[in-house]
A and B are shown apart, each in its own frame.
Chain A
Amino acid sequence: VIEERKVAGTSARRVDGIAKVTGAARYTVDLSVPGMAHAIVVRSTRAHARIAKIDRAAAAASPGVLRVVTGDDLLAAGLTPYYGHVVLDHPVLAIERVRFHGEPVALVVAETRREAAEAAELVDVTYEELPAVIDADDALEPDAPILHEQRGERVGDEGMDQGEGGLVGNVCAIATVGWGNVEEAFKGAHLVVEGEYRYPKLYGYAMEPYNALAFFDQGDLVVFSSAQHVYMVRRDLARMFHLPLARVRVSAPYVGGGYGTKSYTKVEGMTAAAAHFTGRPVKLDLSVEEAVLTTRSASARIRARSAFAADGRLLARDFEIVMNSGAYTDNTPLVNSKTANRCFGPYRIPALRVVARSVFTNTVPSSSLRGFGAPQGNIAGELQMDEAAAKLGIDPVELRLRNLVGPGEELMPGKRPLDADLRDDLRCLASALEWPGATVGRSIGLGVSASDAGAYPTSTAAIRIHSDTSITLFTGSTELGQGSRTVLSQIVAEEMGVPLERVSVVNGDTGVVTYERTTGASRTTTITGRAVQEACRDARRRVRDLAAQTLEIPAAEIEDTAGGISARGRELSYGEVIEQWFGAGGEVLGHGAVRRAEGFAKMPPFYEIGCSGLELEVDRETGQIHVTKLTTIGDVGFAINPALVHGQDAGAAMMGLGASLHEELIYDGEQLANPNVVDYRVPRFSDLPDEVIHLLAERRDGSGPYGAKGAGEGAGNTIGGSVASALGRLFGVFPHELPATPERVWRLMNESEKGRRAR
């Protein structure tokens, strides 16, 4: 019998702590191997153009240059020159045509990075310009230039692809959700709130920019990379080089920030191509400016209508969403469908209609970023609750309480019932924020969300018990900073009854560890954690089998103990069982797998809950917002490591604050005006709210180990709506566009009676 929990549920120190505070932690950017050459990317100076000619003679003759690689080289060599986990349309290097300013056109490989950079200036590309389209609505016009006359092959599986129905013109993805008679419901409504809402394009700014190191070892491709999803990257590379999966190894050591931006293939294909053509190990390190040109999140324009009864009950909601998803498909189908599923909020809605379309434009391709469609839709869905409350004269918290879906009720027909108590969460939040607030000149905003986690539940894990009763865990989950090494170690220590110090983790290396679908959508603790539990149980079973053989007693008489077994009054550690069975040395291997079955049969595998809010004040002269208080409720079922959960909530909320107050990628004509962190301002110490409170709600209602469920996105999803609703209550006019920059806030103040009076 396992004793009460000892390790799970404690804020155990991070197992990567010493490495990270001493500078010893190695990221891909720190790696080098003997004979390594360096690559620099030549990027398009046009937003949309046919490539007439690439003259590489001068660059090829430049000192130190080994090779100038183009997309045509990949075609000529018979490689698959495209990547994409849903649609195979993203060229490794541009082929015949460029579709956004900054797109990789060629790669210069040289002995040193400086030589490669100097030669890159000499690559002469002749373009024949094509009409470009930057705005998503313009791209939907009948006469808009079309980016993809021929669509790429669809290679996504059921976990990521919504199919190609309705994809005409520049529409990259379309998702519809709905039920009930929407028009009838609107006709009978006491109040209809209607509006158009905008959410900006964002750059995630993971501080380690994208980079990779690639080489071939006896024909096997080895790639070290800053990737979140090593197994997804492996699939793209295997396809590109026509290699079996077993002959491609992708490894992510420590990763310097991910937040979704390092999901899926980025620079790995280019770097591997350079290694292929030069026969050398090649390193490619992007700058931050180049990272901005690699991935961003999708902006959204949302037309929304909500119908209410006089008592505040929601009768119907209607959303029409257009997202700007950039030049290639990447993860857009999944983000698009999640935006559709998340915009209407965790409310009982008798009639619903959502149509979300993501549109190709000649801009940087968009993909995943923390929240993944949720923040985009949340500003429309949640703000309309606040707008309705103001018009109905009902307290906004009370209005939400009247409409929230209860525990065990379905949010969407046929999907997993809600695994959370949002009403209780919201009451907690309101109380912690001292809602409705009494300080003159300050205003509180808050909100809720329930995200259907975009995590197809395929995970595996393995553990090896060594002959000294120490244990190594193997997991395909990458350590992005979220603390997965620590939490998964805690699960092993808990299950196996060994001290945390006797557990080590090998992770994120497809050549060594077991399969993991992705490291995203807050899945690791919940889904990988379950696989780790299964691996531990498998290993325990094997230990009991070995003990039964050496003790010559039935396995049924053997009981698990902390760190070993007991039988007929004898206590043996794992190591003793192993050594007695083998005679000398040896080990036991346990394997665990979870799939879309049993506890994970119903999608989503869990709901990620957002329940956070803030109090702010505004400088009436400048329009500058100052956040006086920030509060998050971490409804995680069970916090295996409370400090790490608080860390996720704090980080997500602060990212949400950045997007709400400052961050926006701006196109000036056909190129980005602010592709750097000087002009694109992310939160700094001065943005830290005066008071920060992180609370936990633990009801053991998650599908993960000990009732845990995912954290990491939720706290950020509601911050945009919180800022907007707080401003709305302060000035009597609700802003419909983020970020709430000083200029926008100043205009808002001047638009409103209440705002003018307040000045």
Chain B
Amino acid sequence: MGRREIQLQLNGGDRRVEVEDQMLLIELVRSLGLVGTKLSCDTQVCGACTVLLDGRPVSSCTTLAIEADGKPVETIEGLADGAKLHPLQEAFIERFAFQCGYCTPGMIVSAKALLDEKPAPDAAEVRHWMEGNICRCTGYQTIVDAILDAADEMRSAR
């Protein structure tokens, strides 16, 4: 079993870590204490483990850690600026867009990827983009509302 050293920009900070070839990206980030990223279905359908790899949302449960070599990786822990929450985080609280919270980190990270790519989505576009994230608690409407609110907030802040 091979091991190698990789370098990644994890939530904006440079990290060098030694990983086994078969190590998954979710195992890597969680082993570094970033346990906000959650494992659930383990089959790339629920989205709970979503992180941004090079700005794109990926299921970290089915991505090898070595694929992150040389790339930026962003997890839920990287969104807030100190005590100042990201507008998506604010909107999720304001809209009650979570209950148990287990899907929430992946949900917010996926939504961030959407707003990075498309700052003014409509409700249909939000639903379509978020299809890969499952929530069992909320029934989804409050999540759509929160993402639209955050988009408004981010545009008006520009």
Contact = CB atoms under 8 A, between A and B. Distances in A.
Interface string A24-43: 11110110000000000000
Given A22-B80, A482-B99, A651-B99, A678 B45 contact: yes
A481 B144 contact: no
Interface stretch (B2-10, B62-70, B126-134): B126-134
B46 A677 contact: yes
Nearest to B102: A256
B32 interface: no
B75 interface: yes
B102 A23 contact: no
Interface in B97-113: 98-105, 108
Nearest to B48: A207
A731 interface: no
Interface in B127-156: 127-128, 130-131, 133-144
B122 interface: no
B134 A684 contact: yes
Contacts of A682: 134, 136
B134 A207 contact: yes
Contacts of A655: 136
A207 B46 contact: yes
B94 interface: yes
Given A20-B98, A207-B46, A288-B40, A481 B137 contact: yes
A14 B101 CA distance: 11
B17 interface: no
Contact of A651 (B103, B131, B137): B137
Interface stretch (A140-148, A346-354, A642-650): A642-650
A23 B75 contact: yes
A530 B127 CA distance: 40
B35 A647 contact: no
**Which residue, B37, B42, B99, B142, has most C-beta atoms of chain A within 10 A?**
B99
B141 A676 contact: no
B138 to A, nearest CB: 6
Contact of A208 (B38, B80, B105, B140): B38
A578 to B, nearest CB: 31
Contacts of A676: 41, 43
A405 to B, nearest CB: 29
Contacts of A205: 136
Contacts of B144: 685, 688
B89 interface: yes
Interface residues of A, number: 55
B131 A257 contact: no
A22 to B, nearest CB: 6
Interface residues of B, number: 51
Given A676-B43, A685-B127, A688-B127, A23 B136 contact: no
A456 interface: no
Pick from B40, B43, B136, B144 the residue with the most CB of A within 10 Å.
B136
Given A208-B38, A288-B41, A653-B139, A480 B100 contact: yes
B137 A257 contact: yes
A28 to B, nearest CB: 11
A46 B38 CA distance: 32
B96 A481 contact: no
B79 interface: yes
A684 B131 contact: yes
Most B-side CB within 10 Å, residue of A14, A19, A23, A682:
A23
B100 A654 contact: no
A686 interface: yes
Best-surrounded residue of A22, A480, A483, A687 (most CB of chain B within 10 A): A22
B102 A27 contact: yes
Contacts of A677: 41, 43, 45-46, 134
A255 interface: yes
Name the residue among A26, A27, A257, A258 with the largest chain B CB count within 10 angstroms.
A257
A26 to B, nearest CB: 7
Given A22-B79, A30-B35, A483-B99, A650 B131 contact: no
A259 interface: yes
A20 B127 contact: no
The 7 closest A-B pairs by CB, nearest first: A23-B36, A481-B100, A481-B99, A256-B102, A20-B101, A654-B139, A650-B139
Interface of A: 11, 13-14, 16-27, 29-30, 204-209, 254-259, 287-288, 480-483, 643-644, 646-647, 650-651, 653-655, 676-678, 682-688, 692
6 contacts: A20-B98, A22-B36, A22-B77, A204-B136, A257-B136, A288-B42
